[in-house]
Amino acid sequence: MNLPLNYLIGGLGLLALQGCDVAKEQQSQKPNVIYIFPDQFRNQALEFWGDEGYRDQVNFKPDPVRTPRLNSFADESVVLTAAQSNCPLSSPHRGMLFTGMYANKSGVPLNCNSSRPISSLREDAECMSDVYSNAGYDCAYFGKLHLDFPTPNDPQRPGQYVEDRVPAWDAYTPPERRHGFNYWYSYGTFDEHKNPRYWDTDGFRHDPREWSPQHEADKVVAYLRNEGNVRDASKPFFMMVAMNPPHSPYRSLDDCMEEDFVLYKDIPLDSLLIRPNADATMNKAQCAPYYFASITGVDRAFGQILDALQELGLDKNTIVVFSSDHGETMTSQRSDDPKNSPYSESMNVPFLVRYPGQLTPRVDDLMISTPDVMPTLLGLSGLGESIPDEVQGYNYAPVFFDAEAEIDRPQGAIYLQNVNGDKDENGMIQSYFPVSRGIKTHRYTMALYIDRNTKQLKRSLLFDDLNDPYQLNNLPLDENKEIVAELCALMGQELSRIEDPWATERILENQYGLVYSAD
Ligand code: CA
């Protein structure tokens, strides 16, 4: 007899239930999770911030950029206006994201390269992926990792680094350092966007000669379709997708797709760089059309992943998060440094969460910090009880489920900047120097910079972000003593709580209102 396919599948499901494998049944109800975080994607580079329902939620004009897929994704998501990257630099951000701990605890205070043995993801930390793995998830990592101290462990060239540059930046992550990820398609850091390379689960190298976000989206779709039986379809999956663009370089069609570049190439630079704090006469301004083209290309690659989820019927039970490790100044503040600063273009990142049927789409000003992401994601996944004790971030899942949730919302987000400390005779970095600490609140941004020798204040930034959203007017500390004291009190409290070096070394203590708790 010929039975319809759905009858057969339904019958099999019934048999499984009769097998009374209750644990397995519960497991299959856990949501899948996809965390997508392209590199250097600023919150301002989302087209929908200019649309009705969004534009009155922010006090900036969005970049003139096309992000059609993210626009419709936003309509289905909880969208945060004020997500902050506390240490807006690749490796420190990723360390905090993976561990839920600030940069002084994650093991990653500086960008990872082979001259910095003191900056490498702690092997003993229980990372987000470890928790998901222990909860019965299949865990998959795609793209840029930039979290390991590179060692001479090239699988194809034993005893050598994966690149010949000194110091080496790119790295191979062996299985014992993958923190629960049982599917791997990744590299350390490498910036040839149309000539990327990846090491897979078994350490084989792939050089696909394709624009990397496009290639990674195809790999993700193949994983979702379970081509080659790469995952256990009876398990939920946790996936991180770390696209490198819109990371620099942005100089030529080697960096982005021509179909995206044509959208921007004929627009005058001062019509692309519309922020009043931008300078279209800087050399870097030439990068703007390539940056925005990269954004549009990432939007399309993201859309491909969403399409596959829908085709496969996985969209309803999958939490999808779109964010970034930090932003890009793109000539704002006349800075050549795209990141690493407390300016809003650097610290404010996209944060959109879609969980159909569970989250009601809306815009929220929750000021989530990087270490809050892990506990919040675990909370959204029903794993709030499994958040490791060491985690310093907060679980804000209740705010996502209910805007009125009775929970203390963050009053601010800490800003961190570290630089190289002492070197040994071989030039290896032995310590880091916490050159700046600051705080971002809904109203203000403040950052204090100290002198390396005296550890006294060398420079300060203070902006009234409400009245000066483009941070054009640096307010003198001594003319704003009350505001500074309030901000310093909040900053001292937070730095004490996270046991930051400024608190343990009592840097600037009792100056400007900075007080640390007794330990
Ligand atoms: Ca980065």
What band does 133 get if pLDDT is binned at 50, 70 and 90?
Answer: very high
CA of 36 to the centre of ligand 1 (A): 13
CA of 88 to the centre of ligand 1 (A): 8
* 106, 135, 278, 324 from 58: Cα distances, Å: 32, 38, 18, 18
State pLDDT tens for residues 280-319: 999 999 999 999 999 999 999 999 999 999 999 999 999 9
Q: What angle do CA 407, 394, 323 make, to 5 degrees?
A: 110
CA of 393 to the centre of ligand 1 (A): 21
Cross-strand partners of 352: 79, 322
What band does 203 get if pLDDT is binned at 50, 70 and 90?
Answer: very high
CA of 39 to the centre of ligand 1 (A): 5
Can you give the pTM of this predicted structure? 0.94
CA of 415 to the centre of ligand 1 (A): 16
Q: What would the two tokens of residue 510 be? A: 């009792």
CA of 40 to the centre of ligand 1 (A): 5
Residue 478: exposure state from Cβ atoms within 10 A (0-12, 13-18, ≥19) = exposed
What band does 518 get if pLDDT is binned at 50, 70 and 90?
Answer: confident
The answer, yes or no, to whether residue 75 has pLDDT greater than 50, is yes
* Run of H or E residues at 32: strand 32-36
CA of 123 to the centre of ligand 1 (A): 21
CA 465 – CA 260 distance, rounded (Å): 33
Find the farthest-apart pair of alpha carbons in the chain and give their distance in angstroms, rounded.
87
CA 513 – CA 394 distance, rounded (Å): 26
CA of 242 to the centre of ligand 1 (A): 10
CA of 463 to the centre of ligand 1 (A): 24
CA of 248 to the centre of ligand 1 (A): 9
CA 346 – CA 83 distance, rounded (Å): 11
Cβ atoms of 508 and 438 closer than 8 Å = no
Backbone φ and ψ for 450, nearest 5 degrees, come out as -115, 155
What band does 255 get if pLDDT is binned at 50, 70 and 90?
Answer: very high
DSSP state letters, 172-200: ---GGGSTT--EEEEES----TTS--EEE
Average pLDDT over residues 236-265: 98
Nearest alpha carbon to residue 345 among 288, 270, 293: 288
DSSP at 127? -
CA of 246 to the centre of ligand 1 (A): 9
Residue 405 pLDDT: 96
Cβ atoms of 302 and 36 closer than 8 Å = yes
Residue 29 pLDDT: 81
Grouping H, G, I as helix, E, B as strand and the rest as coil, residue 259 is helix
The answer, yes or no, to whether residue 6 has pLDDT greater than 70, is no
Number of alpha carbons in the 13 Å side-chain half-sphere of residue 450 = 23
CA of 275 to the centre of ligand 1 (A): 22
In order of their start, the domains of the chain are: 33-377 (3.40.720.10), 413-504 (3.30.1120.10)
Please report where in the chains the tokens 């195809």 appear, as a residue.
218
Average pLDDT over residues 179-206: 98
CA of 186 to the centre of ligand 1 (A): 15
Strand order across the beta sheet in which 318-323 lies: 205-206, 198-200, 183-187, 138-144, 237-242, 32-36, 318-323, 351-354, 78-80, 362-364
CA of 405 to the centre of ligand 1 (A): 33
Residue 10 pLDDT: 39
CA 106 – CA 418 distance, rounded (Å): 14
Average pLDDT over residues 211-238: 98
Q: What would the two tokens of residue 200 be? A: 């897979």
Question: What contacts 245, CB < 8 A, 6 or more positions away?
Answer: 38, 39, 193, 211, 212, 213, 255, 256, 294, 297, 298
Ligand 1 (single-atom ion) residues, CB below 5 Å: 39, 90, 325
* Run of H or E residues at 437: strand 432-441
State pLDDT tens for residues 310-345: 999 999 999 999 999 999 999 999 999 999 999 999
CA of 89 to the centre of ligand 1 (A): 5
Other Cβ atoms less than 10 A from the Cβ of 501: the count is: 19
